[in-house]
Structure 1
Amino acid sequence: MTVDMSRLQARVTALLAEYGIPSAAIGVLHDGEIAEFAVGVKNVETREPVTPDTVYQCGSMTKTWTALAFMQLVDEGKADLDEPVRTYLPGFTVADPETSAKVTARHLLNHTNGIEEAYGDPGEDDDVYERMVAGITDAPQVFPLGHTHGYSAALGYAILARILEVLDGKRWDDVMRDRLFDPMGLTSTNSRREQVDETRAATGHLIRSLDEGPILTPIDYLPRAFGPGGGITSTARELLTMGYVLLHEGVAPNGKRIVSAGSIREMMRSRMPVPDPYMFGPEWALGLIVCDWDGETVYATDGSTIGQNARLRLLPDSNTAIVVLTNGGPRESFYRKVFNEILTGLGTVTIPDLPAPDATLSLDLSRYEGVYGRPGARYEVSVEGGKLYLTLILDPIQAEFLQRPDRIRYELLPVSETHFLMPPSDPLEDIQTVAIYDFTNGTARFLHTNCRVNPRLK
C-alpha cells in the first residue's frame, strides 16, 4: 500500500491554513522508496514558496546525530558508554562530587545526568563546548544522578560534543561533517548557521493569534551552545537518510556503513522510563524516544527552535520512516493529524489518542500542592474547590511579546495517581500532559512536563 500524495498534499494545505502555519515539508520512506513534497511559503513577508529542497531547522533532532557520532567512537573502542566522563575529560567537575566522578555518556545520552543547565555564557566561538564544560563547576543537581529522566536541552549533549572534540582532535562541527554528513552523501545538512544557504532556508514564525497570523521569529537561530543538541539544519529527504541508517542497522542508502548494527541496537534498547509517558513516549533511549503505539514499538526524534518544528518517526515493523518539518504553529496536534493521515494510507498502526481523565480517582490533592521550577520555569500547583490547578509563570518579556498574561492557569485532570491532562487555555495551544510524582516524603518531589523535570521548590 502507498500514500496518495496528491490527497495528502491537499490535506496538509488545509491544515496549514487551519493552524496558521506558513509551510510544511513532508517526506515518507517506505520499503526503500521516498515520496516527498513541500507546501506553503518560506517567509510570510517575502511569500517565496518552499520546495522539497528547502532547509529547515531541526532543533533537538540534532541530538540523534550527535548520538550516532558518539556511537562511532564506541565502535572504534575509543569511548565506552559506561566509563565516567572524567575518563575523557579529566578535569570534569560539577557541584555534586558523586556526579562529577560517576556521570557517564549513557547518562548524558538518555537525560538522566540531572545536572542543571548552569553553564553561563560560553559565547559563539569555536571553544564554546570547552567553555561550557569549564563553566559548570558549580552547577547543582536538579535530581540525583540516574534518579529520573529530565531533559537536558543543551548541556548534556554539549558535554558529549566536547568528548568527541577531544578524542577526534577537531571541533564538533567538523566531527559531524567528517563522520556523518559526508559519508552519508548529505549536501544540504549543516551544523553552523554560517553554512546555510539563506536562499533555501525557511524562516521561523510565531503565532500570537489566528487573526494576526504568523509573524517572523525574533530569534533566527539558537545560540551556538545548543549546537550539539539543537543546531543542525536539513531537508526532509536528508533527514530520511538518517532514518534509513537507523532502520537498516547502521548502513546508509549509498551502502556505506555509518555505525555498527550493534550500536544501532544499543541506541534502541538502552532505555530509561519517562515520568510523563503520554506526550512523546514512555521511554528514552540513546538519542531516541521510544513510543508504544498500541503494542508496536516506534522510535522518534523531535526538535523545535523558536519558530520551527521537526518530527521524525521510525516504524521498524513496516520499514517506514516519516518526517514532518514546519516553520511555525502548534506542534503536537498538527503533526498527529499529518502522521495519522500518512500512516492510515500505509495501512500501518496510527498514533494512539491521549488517555481520557479518570473521574473515579480519589486523590489526596494536598500531596501535589506546591511550587516546582528551574531557572526560567516556575509552576504553582494549587487546590481550589476540590480540583487541582497548575499556574504557569511566564517571563514578563516573553509574556509581553506573546501578548499573554504572565500567569496562565490550567486545570489538571487526573489520568492516574501521577499523571494529568492539562487542557489548553488558548485556541492556539495543544493539550499537554503532566506527571507529578515521587512521594518519598509524603508530597510530590517532581513535576515533569514537555520532557523537562522540575523539582519542588516549596
Structure 2
Amino acid sequence: MRLFGCLVFFNFGLIGFFVSPIVVAQGSIDAETLQRMKELKEKYQLPSVSVAVGLVEEIVFAEAIGFSDIEKNRPATRETQYSVGSLAKPMTGIALARLMDSGQVDLQAPVSKYVKQPEYTQQFSVRELAAHIAGVPHNTAERHTAEFVDIKDHKSPFDAFYVFDSHPLLFPPGTDYGYSSNGYILLSAVIESAADMNYVNFLQSSLWDELGMKSTELDTFLAGREHEASYYQAIKPDGNFAISPVNRDRSFLFGGGGFISTPSDLIRLSRATFLEDFLSDDARLAMATPARLRNGEINSDRYSLGWRVAAIRLTEDAKEEWLALHHGGVTDKASTAYLLVVPECKASIAFATNYIPEKFWRMRGDMAKVLRGYINEEQCRRSFKAS
C-alpha cells in the first residue's frame, strides 16, 4: 500500500461498469470550503487560489480568492485562467478514448501505425505510450530551449518533435515506468494522425465544445489575454512575490502540458469519466485500469490513459474504498493545478494557483478532504470491482 495525501493506492484489477445516481451536496459545506481555501492561501502563501467542485452534471461550488495579478491589484475570479500543466494529459487520454470508441485508434497497435517517426515508434503500443511505459525521455535540453529561448507558437505536435526525437529510449519499452511529457507530444501526434484533424481542433470539437469547456485553450501568444493570471516564481526576502518569466512558450507541449484552463472547466472535463453517452463502458474501463508492464506487473505509478488510478476512503474510519482518478499539473516557476474525480459518486474537485509553494503536493490531499465533505456515500454506486 502506498499513501499519497488521503488517497490510498491498492493493487487491484477493475471490471464492470454501471452508472451512479445523483449525489447531493450538504448544506453548509460551501462555507466550510471557502474557509478551507482561505486557510490554504495563508498556509502556502499563495497569490490566489481557485477551486471548483462538481456533483453529477452541476458545478456546485466555484470560487477564487486572492490576486490574479498583484501588481495591477486584479482579483482572481472563477473565470481566471491558469496554466494547468500536465492536466493536459487527462484531456489527451479522454480524446484517445473517444478515438478508441470510434474505431480510429487501436490501443494495442504499435504507434508506428499512426506516426512513423522516430523509428522507435515500432517498438511500443499506443497504450504503452499513454501509460509512460514506452521509454520516451522526459527531461531534454531542447525543452528548455523551446520554452525560454527559441520562442514561437506551435501549430501541430509534429512541429515539436525536435524536443525529443534525437534522444534514444530510456529503457526497453514495456519494462519500466518513466513519466514523459515528451511522450505525450508524440501521443498528441497519434491523435492528430488517427483523427485526420489538427490535434487542438480535435480537442476543441470532441471535448471542449461538447463538455462546455469555454475557458480552455492552447497556451499560444494570443491565448488568455483577458483572463489569464500572472505567475510568480518565488517570494523575495521582503515578502513580496517575484514575477515569473513572461517571455516563454508552452504551446510546444500540446498534450504534455500546453493548455490554460479554469477549475470549472476541469470539472466539466471530469464528467467524461462517468457520463453514459460520452464514452463507452470499455473506454471508461480503459481509463480506470492501470497499464501493465510486459511482465504482467502493474506500472509503479498506476497510470492508465492520462490518469493515475487510486482509491479513496470517504470518511476517516471507512473500510470501503472507491475508485479515484486524479492528476496534477505543474508549470515550472508559474503554477500548479489538480483534478480529482470519484466517478462512482459522480463527484470531482479541481484547484489552480499562480504560484508553486513548497511541498505543493500536500494541497492535493487537502482537496481530497474537501471533496469528501460533498459526497453522500450511501448514494454512490459501485462501478468497478476488484478481481
Whether TM exceeds 0.5 here: the answer is yes
- 1:329 Cα deviation after fit: 3.4
2:306 equivalent to 1:287: yes
Q: For residues 4 and 211 of structure 1, what CA distance do their matches in structure 2 show?
A: 36
- 1:125 Cα deviation after fit: 5.0
Q: For residues 150 and 313 of structure 1, what CA distance do their matches in structure 2 show?
A: 22
Q: For residues 125 and 62 of structure 1, what CA distance do their matches in structure 2 show?
A: 17
Q: Within 5 Å, which residues of 2 pair with 1:10-409?
A: 10-34=35-59, 35-94=61-120, 100-117=121-138, 118=140, 120=142, 124-126=152-154, 129-133=157-161, 136=164, 138-153=166-181, 155-208=182-235, 212-219=239-246, 222-249=249-276, 251=277, 257=278, 259-272=279-292, 273-275=298-300, 282-294=301-313, 295-306=321-332, 307-330=334-357, 331-344=360-373, 346=375
For the 8 Å contact 1:247–1:314, the answer to whether it is kept is no
For the 8 Å contact 1:93–1:136, the answer to whether it is kept is no
- 1:60 Cα deviation after fit: 0.3
Computed over aligned residues only, the root mean square deviation of the Cα atoms, in angstroms, reads: 2.6
Highest Rg: 1 or 2? Answer: 1
> Which ranges of structure 2 fall in alignment gaps of 5 or more residues?
1-24, 293-297, 314-320, 379-387
- 1:221 Cα deviation after fit: 5.1
- 1:132 Cα deviation after fit: 3.9
Structure 1 residues 391-418: Cα deviation after superposition (integer angstroms, max 9, x where no partner): xxxxxxxxxxxxxxxxxxxxxxxxxxxx
Q: For residues 35 and 169 of structure 2, what CA distance do their matches in structure 1 show?
A: 49
Structure 1 residues 258-295: Cα deviation after superposition (integer angstroms, max 9, x where no partner): x33321221111434454xxxxxx51111101123353
Letter in 2 for 1:283: R
Q: Comparing 317-326 with 10-19, which one deviates more in the overlay?
A: 10-19
TM-score, length-normalised on structure 1?
A: 0.66
> Which ranges of structure 1 fall in alignment gaps of 5 or more residues?
95-99, 252-256, 276-281, 350-458
TM-score, length-normalised on structure 2?
A: 0.77
Query: Matched residue of 2:105: which SS?
Result: coil
- 1:339 Cα deviation after fit: 3.4
Q: In the alignment, what sits opposite 1:7?
A: 32
Q: Closer, same or farther in 2 for the Cα pair 1:39/1:327, shift >3 Å? A: same
Structure 1 residues 316-372: Cα deviation after superposition (integer angstroms, max 9, x where no partner): 2332101111111322123323432342454669xxxxxxxxxxxxxxxxxxxxxxx
Structure 1 residues 160-217: Cα deviation after superposition (integer angstroms, max 9, x where no partner): 1112222333322222212221222322111233453322111221234675243211
For the 8 Å contact 2:64–2:77, the answer to whether it is kept is yes
Letter in 2 for 1:68: I
Query: Matched residue of 2:112: which SS?
Result: helix
Letter in 2 for 1:104: S
Query: Matched residue of 1:12: which SS?
Result: helix
- 1:140 Cα deviation after fit: 1.6
Paired residue total: 330
Query: Matched residue of 1:170: which SS?
Result: coil
Greater relative CO (CA pairs within 8 A, separation 6+): 2
Q: For residues 230 and 311 of structure 1, what CA distance do their matches in structure 2 show?
A: 13
